[in-house]
Structure 1
Amino acid sequence: MDSINCPCGSGITFQQCCQPYHLKTKTAPTAEALMRSRYSAFVVTDADYLYETTHISKRKNHSRRGYLSSAKNTRWLKLEIVFSAFDVVEFKAYYLNKKFQTEVLHEKSNFRLEDGKWYYVDGDFYS
Structure 2
Amino acid sequence: MLPVTMFGTGSTSSTRAVSCLGKTRVSRALQQDGMRSCRTVHNQLMKEGSTHSLSTTRRLIKAVGYKASTLRYGQMVRAVNKEKRLAFCRSLIEKDDRLSGIIFTDESSISLEISKPGPST
- More strand by percentage: 1
* Normalised-by-shorter TM-score class: under 0.3
Bigger Rg, which one: 2
Structure with higher RCO (Cα < 8 A, 6+ apart): 1
- How does the TM-score come out when normalised to structure 1? 0.23
- More helix by percentage: 2
- How does the TM-score come out when normalised to structure 2? 0.24
